[in-house]
Amino acid sequence: MTTKASTKHPYAAIEHRVLDSAAYTALPFSAQSLLMMLARQLNGKNNGRLQATATYLQPRGFSDNTVTRGIADLIAAGLIYRTRCGGFHQGPSLYAVTWLSIGSQRDGLFLD
């Protein structure tokens, strides 16, 4: 009898149609890596509340300039959307991946 392997560990899944798209393949590797770090945060309920903060990304080898360029590249490619602009006393900017729907907690997000 064969049992189905299961995992209780979280994982980051990006659909093949995204990875195979011209938009994704045209990105520099640093922007592709940043997209992986954004997708790593997804839990099925929080799309639209993904963060690209220095606290989260610097330990993973990202510089501030790489993040700034990567965010611009991902937005221009149509793979992420900025749902909230952060700033001093406003908290971090928030993002959504465009191939999934936005989570149900929409308060404070710019979705027009």
- Note the pLDDT tens digit of each residue in 26-76: 999 999 999 999 999 999 889 999 999 999 999 999 999 999 999 999 999
Structure tokens at 45: 């309920």
CA distance 48 to 84: 8
Residues in CB range of 97: below 8 A, 6 or more apart? 35, 38, 39, 42, 47, 50, 79, 80
DSSP 50: B
Overall pTM surpassing 0.75 (yes/no): yes
